[in-house]
Amino acid sequence: MSWLSELFGGGSNTGAVAVQPSQYTEQDWQGLRPAEMGGVPNPRQGAAVPGLYDSIKQYDPKWIALQNASTAAPAPAPAPAPTPPPAPVGGGPEEALQKLNAALGSGFENTYLPDTLDDPFINTALAKGRSSADDFISNMIKRGTLSGPAEAKARAALDAQTPGVTSKLGGIGSTLLGTDRTNLTNFANTQRGVAQQTPAGADFDPTPLVNQIAQTGQGYAGTFGDRFNAAIPAGDLYDTSGIGSLSGAVTSPKNVAYDPYAVEGGKLKSGLESDTETPAPKKKRTTEVF
């Protein structure tokens, strides 16, 4: 009995059970399908029966799948890709401002005008004021109106004033620095306005504006000393008005030590004249009678 007869239950064997096409295995179908559908001849099949596959193909799972695919609704067309936003145009006001700020850096005012800028001028003014007060004490010592413990108290009185004088000078420096920094910020803001006038699409070089801001800051720094000194109030920084009261020496109204030999020839002498000074010649009394 042939392979096909076994499938359909034909042949001379008594009691053979016919195999329905719905019960065919994939191997069975491969032997029956035409070559264009991937059929593979089965050696057991022998010569193919003409028209056999066409009569039973409605049971072939592969043929059924092909029919379903051909009658299925077509897949929807893919959605078009979203239109990308237009590329930003280079340059322009916003980019120019960003470049300028980046080139300046944060806190550029403190870079050009640092907190230490007034230090040397404060120290110089402080030393000058103390020197003037020390000279006042030295002159009192030379006149003999201040000596010993009184001199030490006078120097200590000056030392006690130093913190206050330093603070006063520091306040002048801080005020001047604050004003200069504000003016420098205002000038930089003006330059920022210039940068924001850059047209769209135009490239921007912040170097010229940064150089102008730097030169302005350096100009403030270069004239700081003269302006600081001009802001110091007139007069002595140290108060020496009470130093004279620290002396225990007896003094005349002119702050000159009393000279016990001051009265001579009806004139008051200071007592500080040289001992080698030649006295004026005295007139001789005459007994001549005219």
Q: Evaluate if residue 210 carries a pLDDT over 90.
A: yes
Please report the pLDDT score of residue 256 as a whole number: 45
Residues 238 and 130 sit within 8 Å (Cβ to Cβ): yes
First to last CA, the chain: 206
Please report the pLDDT score of residue 74 as a whole number: 67
Please report the pLDDT score of residue 263 as a whole number: 37
Please report the pLDDT score of residue 25 as a whole number: 85
Mutual angle of helices 93-104 and 207-222, in 10-degree steps: 40
Q: Evaluate if residue 128 carries a pLDDT over 90.
A: yes
Residues 257 and 251 sit within 8 Å (Cβ to Cβ): yes
Q: What is the DSSP string of 13-54?
A: -TTPPPPPGGG--HHHHHHHS-GGGT----TTT-SPPTTHHH
Residue ranges of the alpha helices (H) in 144-246?
A: 149-195, 207-222, 224-231
Please report the pLDDT score of residue 58 as a whole number: 84
Residues 67 and 37 sit within 8 Å (Cβ to Cβ): no
CA–CA distance from 26 to each of 130, 278, 290 (Å)?
116, 156, 186
Q: Evaluate if residue 122 carries a pLDDT over 50.
A: yes
- Of 74-83, 151-160, 245-254, the one with minimum mean pLDDT is 245-254
Please report the pLDDT score of residue 144 as a whole number: 86
pTM for the predicted model, two decimal places: 0.55
Please report the pLDDT score of residue 243 as a whole number: 84
| Calpha distance 257→239 (Å, rounded) | 24
- Of 5-9, 60-64, 201-205, the one with minimum mean pLDDT is 5-9
Round the average pLDDT of the chain to a whole number and report it: 79
> Could you tell me which residue, 55 or 110, shows the higher pLDDT?
110
> Could you tell me which residue, 47 or 211, shows the higher pLDDT?
211
| Calpha distance 123→170 (Å, rounded) | 10
Please report the pLDDT score of residue 44 as a whole number: 54
pLDDT tens profile 8-42: 445 444 444 567 887 888 888 877 888 777 777 66
Q: Evaluate if residue 71 carries a pLDDT over 70.
A: yes
Q: The tokens of 103 are what?
A: 């080139």
